[in-house]
Chain A
């Protein structure tokens, strides 16, 4: 089976997942992003790489933050951006996903940035575009179900590289609700591809998917043990609807066992960085003292995120 995100020359045509991407493609995205970071500091925050191109933000699932960062990235690339909140329009009128896509493609879209609650939805779209020879349209996955959030994963890799330089001597811990997290999956694939020797997952059994070991991850249920000697801590957001129920008794109890406090952070390496994909629940997965502390790199993540999305969009659009 052909990997639907690569063209026949093995170049990135769509970005659907980090899994299976050659290291060279990831490194190229990060290098390209680094040339875009400074654009944000200029007086004219634009480059003409995608001038005249139309980017459609197709958000079948609500998101303000990710959609905004894609919108900013598109605009800095000089593309025209159209935001569509599909959950409120055609889907509710009974139009099928692929009909929507065909209609928008007929409006000469150049790129779809897709967020969908179903794992794999961007694959369906990319495969449909490939099968129907609409090869000029590119798909960027902005988060699908629990499956992948590749641009978040890449901006996390960018952030780690920025602070740690080398991946091959790192211990990275991912903490919290990994079961439902597309960010965690994308981070795991990114980290293992870039040569991180030890990726740890920390959480209660109810929030860890089965088969994590096969993804090259070491599983810890004890936060203190898991944080010992790590260079990078990636905290995950605990969704409100999962804070109490069959998987967890309460947010308080979660914080008690898995919240990142200054005391726990002290178990990691002294220069360890703390990351979070946002939005944060202070007092649920992370203590304010840590979130606002010197080791947190949560706001730089957001800044880098724009540059990484610009890199992804410009690379994909060129292939």
Chain B
């Protein structure tokens, strides 16, 4: 199908474009920006007047809960949530049941996702068998099956020898290792940021040290091995300071932050609101401000939704017993826009926000996505940057209805999501 998207504000961070232009799509690819190719006859014309035409969003972490946790969410529900959120490529961590540590499982997930014909799904393979931190997985086989990197999700590697050898092995084949910087012991049973709020509420803490000590270890291992590491879900000012220095030193590292952490702090736990139980925990307002600044100066490469659907039975529990996690796919765009708006990016705000969830994210993950260059796969998100909407359970397609933003009014709403040239979602 040939599409002509006219009169929109095209924002393509990959090519530094932010201008009113027309976009042309044919045979699943972008075939023209600004100017139609010769003999182009559109089958369908989309009028994007007043709307932003951006690359489809690339989400660096979305748990689809399949296989194994279908009671929390299914591929169908979460893929629908993705396209409603404008997400056309998503990376899913390997902490499913069974764990994504065998090529067969990865192939099955890719196949199931492909048959839904919605967003592109890129799994991360388990770094160690069963995520147990002991034996390496068959990384080459897993890569062949479609894994784009290797991760321990939230599971620790207790033995530093294994962490070292996993980085050495990954480096041998130039695979990227995705690590959550968290000390395996410090704060392991913590449920909130160590600080005045946790002390007051009597919640056991996760100290900032848990992040910084892990970063020191990881950086030392990266220096020794040269392995490329992506740091997942940064949470603290001190941790970001270390990342800034490590990047300056030239270490091959990148990092992301969960969209919730840009806006919330431990104060948002309020009266034990289990919707604010997330991993890593919301830290202090100072940490949150450092996250906002680090996104602006490029220390943090990308924003992800950290989409983690949790069902009622696991959320309607005392704070400490509630499962961590919040739904995020449908909030990613709005929360990113909110960040750029609030840090005073002015007329560039929308473009800055878009970059963090498209081009920058695709670069981090090494995905063929996140841009609108002619020849690229036509993954496109068309949204109204000014529509205000209220976050409500019933407005969410995801089976995960829990988010600390319930009741918030957010700005920015996806109107049309195009995946590989076909209209996967159109808001009625």
Contacts and interface: CB of A to CB of B under 8 A. Distances in A.
Contacts of A209: 198-199
A64 interface: no
A3 B202 contact: no
Which of B194, B272, B320 neighbours the largest number of chain A CB atoms within 10 Å of its CB? B272
Interface in A103-160: 116, 118-121, 123-124, 127-128, 144-148
Interface stretch (B10-18, B212-220, B311-319): B311-319
A185 B199 CA distance: 9
A283 interface: no
A215 interface: yes
Interface in A147-192: 147-148, 182, 185
A120 B201 contact: yes
A267 interface: no
B200 A210 contact: no
B200 A123 contact: no
A214 interface: yes
A211 B316 contact: no
Contacts of B272: 119-120, 123-124
Given A1-B270, A98-B316, A118-B318, A19 B200 contact: yes
B203 interface: yes
Interface string B187-211: 0000000111111111111000000
A96 B312 CA distance: 11
A151 to B, nearest CB: 16
Contacts of B270: 1
Contact of B202 (A96, A98, A119, A212): A119
A222 to B, nearest CB: 21
Given A19-B200, A145-B202, A215-B199, A96 B319 contact: no
A197 interface: no
Contacts of B201: 119-120, 147
Interface residues on B, range: 20 to 34
A119 B319 CA distance: 7
B196 to A, nearest CB: 3
A247 interface: no
A4 B199 contact: no
Nearest to B317: A97
A80 B195 CA distance: 42
Interface in B314-351: 316-321
Contacts of B320: 118-120, 145
Contact of B319 (A97, A118, A212): A118
A121 B200 contact: no
A215 B204 CA distance: 17
A119 B202 CA distance: 6
Contacts of B318: 97, 116, 118-121, 124, 144-145
A1 B271 CA distance: 8
Interface string B293-321: 00000000000000000000100111111
Given A1-B271, A119-B272, A120-B272, A210 B205 contact: yes
A120 B201 CA distance: 8
B317 A185 contact: no
A149 B403 CA distance: 30
Contacts of A4: 271
Given A96-B313, A97-B317, A124-B318, A185 B200 contact: yes
Interface string A182-226: 100100000000000000000000000111101100000000000
A123 B272 CA distance: 7
Nearest to A127: B271
Contact of B321 (A118, A128, A215): A118
Interface residues on A, range: 20 to 34
Contacts of A1: 270-271
A258 B366 CA distance: 58
Contacts of B198: 209, 211
A34 B195 CA distance: 38
Contacts of B200: 19, 185, 211, 214-215
A69 B198 CA distance: 29
A185 B203 CA distance: 12
Contacts of A124: 272, 274, 316-319
A262 to B, nearest CB: 33
Contacts of A118: 318-321
A305 B198 CA distance: 28
Nearest to A125: B318
Given A4-B271, A120-B271, A144-B202, A215 B319 contact: no
A210 B196 contact: yes
B199 A212 contact: yes
A147 B192 CA distance: 13
Nearest to A147: B202
Contacts of B317: 96-97, 124
B195 to A, nearest CB: 6
Which of B201, B202, B319 neighbours the largest number of chain A CB atoms within 10 Å of its CB? B202
Contact of B271 (A96, A123, A214): A123
A210 B199 contact: yes
Interface in A1-37: 1, 3-4, 19
Nearest to B272: A120
A214 B319 CA distance: 22
Contacts of A96: 313, 316-317
A147 B194 CA distance: 14
B183 to A, nearest CB: 15
A187 to B, nearest CB: 13
A96 B314 CA distance: 10
B202 to A, nearest CB: 3
A297 B317 CA distance: 39
A147 B321 CA distance: 15
21 contacts: A96-B316, A97-B318, A116-B318, A118-B318, A118-B319, A118-B320, A118-B321, A119-B201, A119-B320, A120-B201, A120-B202, A120-B271, A121-B318, A124-B316, A145-B202, A145-B203, A145-B320, A146-B202, A147-B203, A185-B202, A211-B198
Given A124-B318, A146-B202, A147-B201, 13 more contacts: A3-B271, A97-B317, A118-B318, A118-B321, A119-B320, A120-B202, A124-B274, A145-B202, A210-B205, A211-B197, A211-B198, A215-B196, A215-B199
Closest 5 CB pairs of A and B: A120-B272, A211-B196, A146-B202, A147-B202, A118-B318
